[in-house]
Amino acid sequence: MELSWESSVTDSINAIYLLFSAYLVFVMQLGFAMLCAGSVRAKNAMNIMLTNVVDAVVGSLSYYLFGFAFAFGEGPNENPFIGTSYFALKDVPTSSYDYSFFLYQWAFAIAVAGITSGSIAERTQFSAYLIFSFFLSGFVYPIVAHWVWSSSGWLSPSSGSLLFGSGAIDFAGSGVVHLVGGVAGLWGSLIEGPRVGRFDAFGNPVAMRGHNATLVVLGTFLLWFGWFGFNPGSFNKILVPYPNTTDQGNWTAIGRTAVTTTLAGSTSGIVTLFSRRLLVGHWDGLDVCNGLLGGFVAITSGCSVVEPWAAIVCGFFAAWVLIGLNILALKLKLDDPLEAAQLHGGCGAWGLIFTGLFAKEEFVVQAYDAGQIGVHRSYGLLMGGGWGLIGAQLVELLVILAWVSLTMGPLFYLLHWLRILRISPDEEVAGLDISSHGGYAYTAPPEETGPQFYAEYMRMQINS
């Protein structure tokens, strides 16, 4: 049957919106690259930028071959745990998914590996990075995405059999994306151990600040920009009018989602600014950048289903979650150069709980039922919605912790056992750029007194 011109225009606009959102999310890779490069020492800048490129290229292949199928595969053998069709995009496009949707979801998948790379920066063999990046984006992350975002997933709010009568609301992925990446990074950091010199002989932390604050701020703003595709873009369609209204539809919910995203991040940033001023005695711009990102991570789960005032509450507590976990990490001698496990893992977990407390029923119906009249949904506990939603949120949190621990933990341990995970102390002191990538990202950094060129480094190794 031939589509009407109205339907064709609607479908075209929705496709343009989804593609534009995918492009915004992909810009976040540039943001991650700049943030990571500025947050490590100059002698490792080339390495960390290369790992961000690898996220995209390796993630493209793994997600195309397996990941999308595991996440969204449907068919007669579909089950609530794992997708079983669409391998290598066979039979796509369908009535449910097209190439635009694949591209959007791919941009999410490659972000997960980028999160994990920050936790194990400055001390990881590049070959190990290739292995775990492929496994994480092609298998571990897609399984969680299937549970929560596929219509057949056992945690999905769109499932025919809702967990606790609710399903878990993780609209853009505080758990699916950020908690997965953060927990994977935590295991990598624990198994590798801290960088050489990160703690002194008495166990006291030694500062190893990043070499370029300009890149950190640039990366933060690029990530902020990309988050407007990450959160509002998760509606997938913009031309969806709500019943019994003349001026509301997904376009209004999308605008509100952009506002809640901004407010949560900004609140977390300002709370971090003053809190760190009290704790360390000066205004710390780099900490504010991480605080800002922590607010974005936390609001990502409930961005579409909470009021703007609730987003401020979300950001306020996200800042304290991050500050508290950073203090705890130092006490436990956990070395995470990008604070990725604390930021993405801790704030992602808080985001899931926050949604279970503050989700508004009207907005939940808009996000998951296109605003249908007469539909009732479980909503936030503190909004009078009962225990169903918060129960589902806690289940999602716990199963992600268990799943990623049972998959990525053994993988990192196996790489460690095979001695292909961590570089040698000599290589680490010299820097990954000169020992693994043929030279520095810049002219030899002034704080380093080691070899200036790769040939010099190799001569030193031969003569040692």
pTM: 0.93
pLDDT, tens only, 124-135 = 998 899 999 999
Do 189 and 42 fall within a single domain?
yes
Do 247 and 266 fall within a single domain?
yes
Give me the domain span that covers residue 370: 12-422
What pLDDT is stored for residue 438 in this prediction?
81
What pLDDT is stored for residue 2 in this prediction?
61
Do 158 and 210 fall within a single domain?
yes
Q: With b meaning 16 or more CB within 10 Å and e meaning fewer, what string describes 426-440?
A: ebbebbbbbbbbebb
- Flag whether pLDDT at 158 surpasses 60: yes
Q: Residue 327 in contact with residue 314, Cβ under 8 Å?
A: no
> Residue 40: phi, psi to the nearest 5?
-105, 170
What pLDDT is stored for residue 79 in this prediction?
87
pLDDT band at residue 464, thresholds of 50, 70 and 90? low
Do 186 and 301 fall within a single domain?
yes
pLDDT, tens only, 324-379 = 999 999 999 999 999 999 999 999 999 999 999 999 999 999 999 988 888 889 99
- Flag whether pLDDT at 454 surpasses 60: no
In a domain? residue 118 = yes
What pLDDT is stored for residue 462 in this prediction?
67
Mapping DSSP to helix (H, G, I), strand (E, B) and coil, where does residue 334 land?
coil
Kindly state the percentage of the chain with pLDDT values over 90.
72
What mean pLDDT comes out for the span 185-191?
95
pLDDT, tens only, 267-285 = 999 999 999 888 888 888 8
What pLDDT is stored for residue 95 in this prediction?
82
pLDDT band at residue 451, thresholds of 50, 70 and 90? low
Q: Indicate the number of domains in the chain.
A: 2
What pLDDT is stored for residue 209 in this prediction?
87
Q: What is the rounded CA–CA span in Å between residue 106 and residue 117?
A: 18
Do 45 and 126 fall within a single domain?
yes
In a domain? residue 330 = yes
Burial of 184 (0-12, 13-18, 19+ CB in 10 A): buried
- Domain containing 74 — which CATH number? 1.10.3430.10
What pLDDT is stored for residue 218 in this prediction?
96
pLDDT, tens only, 366-410 = 999 988 888 889 999 999 999 999 999 999 999 999 999 999 999
Do 413 and 434 fall within a single domain?
no
What mean pLDDT comes out for the span 74-87?
85
In a domain? residue 4 = no
What pLDDT is stored for residue 216 in this prediction?
95
The total of other beta-carbon atoms located within 10 Å of residue 364's CB is: 28
pLDDT, tens only, 426-445 = 888 888 888 888 888 876 55
- Flag whether pLDDT at 243 surpasses 70: yes
pLDDT band at residue 137, thresholds of 50, 70 and 90? very high
In a domain? residue 7 = no
